[in-house]
Amino acid sequence: MTEEQYMTNNFEKNQLLKAKVEDLTHEGMGVAKIEGFPFFIEGALPQEDIEFKIIKIGKKYGFGKLVKVIKESPDRVAITDDIGRQTGTMTLQHLSYKAQLAFKEKVVRDAFERIGHFKELTIQPTMGMDDPWGYRNKAQIPVRMVKGQLETGFYRKNSHDLIPVEDYHIQDPAIDQAILIVRDLLRKFKIPAYDERAHTGCIRHLIVRKGHYSGQLMVILVSKAKKIPQLEELLQEMIEKIPHLVSIIQNINPAKTNVIMGKETYCLWGQEYFEDQMLEMTFRISPQSFYQINTPQAERLYQMAITTAELDGSETVLDAYCGIGTLTLALAKHAKAVYAMEVVVEAVKMAEKNAEINQIENVHFEAGLAEDWLARWNQEDIHFDVVTVDPPRKGLDPQFIESLVDQDPAKIVYVSCNPATQARDCQLLAQAGYHIQSIQPVDLFPFTNHVETVALLTKDK
C-alpha cells in the first residue's frame, strides 16, 4: 500500500484520534505520530497523552486541533491570556518559563546539527529573564472597525479578523495605556479606521515606542492619506492625556499592502526621535529605526558579544548590520577603532548622531550593503582583527561571507535572531577553516518561539 493510499484509507479531516506527544517543532507545536505518520498539534506538549481532531491532512504529515489533554506534561502551566493564544502573540504561554528556556536551547542545538551538520557542540543554557512579562518596548497595532466601533487589537491567526485587545501582557503597560487613550480619542473625534477591503478610511495602524529607561514615548499614526480629520483637537488631547509623550509622528501609507509603514513621515508635534539608554549610553531612535524590542535582554546580548570578543583595546573591529549603532558604540569603548555599515541611510545618520552624543570618536559609519562595503575595505587593505555581525533573519549574504573569508579575521562574533540561517552560515565559515568556540542563546522574546544567539568562531593562525 502506498503512503497516499494509507492516508486515504486511515485518516480523514475532522477525525478524532488519541496519541502521545513526542516532541515540539521549532515553532512550538506538539508532534504526535500514529504508526509513524506525524501530526502537528498546537498547544500540545511532550509527554502528554492527548485527543485531537484532524484539521488538515497531507501526503507526509497532518495538522490537528487539540481537543483534550488526557495526561498533562509536568511543564504545563495555566495560560494567562487566551487572546494571546488566538492571535499568536504568546504561542508558548502554556509551557513553564523554565521549560521555554530549555526548548530554545534545543531549537539552537537542532538547527546546528540538522542544518549546519555540526556534531557534539556545547550549547549554553538559554539566558532568560527574572520577570518575563511586559518586556516589549514597541507595539504595532492595527486599527479597524469591529461591529460598528473603532477598535485596536491583533488579528486572529491566519486571518484579517481583528480581535480587540486592551491588555497585551508582554508589552510595557505604559504602551498599553497609550494605545487605549488614542483609541478612545479616535472614537471621540469620529476619525474613521481603515477598511482594507474597500481601501477607505483614515487610520491604519497605531505604533507606540517607549524608552525602557528614559520612559519617553513616541506615538506614530499610520494613515492612508495625509489629511487626518480634526487633527489639531486630536493632537491637543493626546499631549494632555499621554504621560511622558515626547513625539507624535504621522506616517502615510496609501498603498494596498500588508506592509505597515509607508515612505512619507512627518513630525506632527515634539521631537523627531525619542531617547533611551543602553549599556550606560544614550541613543536617539527615529520612527523607523531598528531598536531591540527587549532592552534589558538586548543589553545582556550585546554584553555577551563584547565579552566573547575579548577585546584589549588594540583591535580594529568591523560591526556589520549596525543599525543605529547600539553594539558599535559599545564595542568602540573596548577597541582601537570600529568600522560599521548599515543599509538604512536614516539609521546611519542616527548612528553618527549617537556617537556624537556619547562623545565616541573612534567609529566610522557607512551607508550601504554590508557585502559591498566589506569588499571595498578589503581592496583598501583595511584589516579587521575581530568582526561582529548581527544580520536580519535571512542571515549573511553569500558575497559577504566570501569577502569575510578573504578578510581572514582572527575572531567572528555572530549575533543572530534565526538559528537556522546562523547554522547555515557557520557551516560555510567552517569550510573556510573557522571553528565554533561557543554558542550562547539569549531569550529576548518570552512566550514565543524566537531566540537570539551569540556564536564565537575563531581561526587557527
The residues that are catalytic are: 417
Cβ neighbour number for residue 56 with a 10 Å cutoff? 12
- What DSSP character marks residue 356? H
What the block records as the C-alpha cell of 419 is 538559528
Distance CA 293, CA 23 (A): 29
Distance CA 359, CA 329 (A): 10
Q: CB–CB of 415/386 below 8 Å? A: no
Bridging pattern class, strands 217-223 and 245-252: parallel
What the block records as the C-alpha cell of 149 is 466601533
3-state class of 259 per DSSP? Answer: coil
Distance CA 195, CA 150 (A): 11
**Residue found under cell 567572528:** 412
**Residue found under cell 521555554:** 100
Distance CA 127, CA 105 (A): 9
Q: How far apart are the first and last CA of the chain?
A: 58
Distance CA 10, CA 318 (A): 57
- Spatial CB neighbours of 150, under 8 Å, sequence gap ≥ 6: 143, 144, 183, 186, 187, 191, 192, 193
Distance CA 13, CA 10 (A): 11
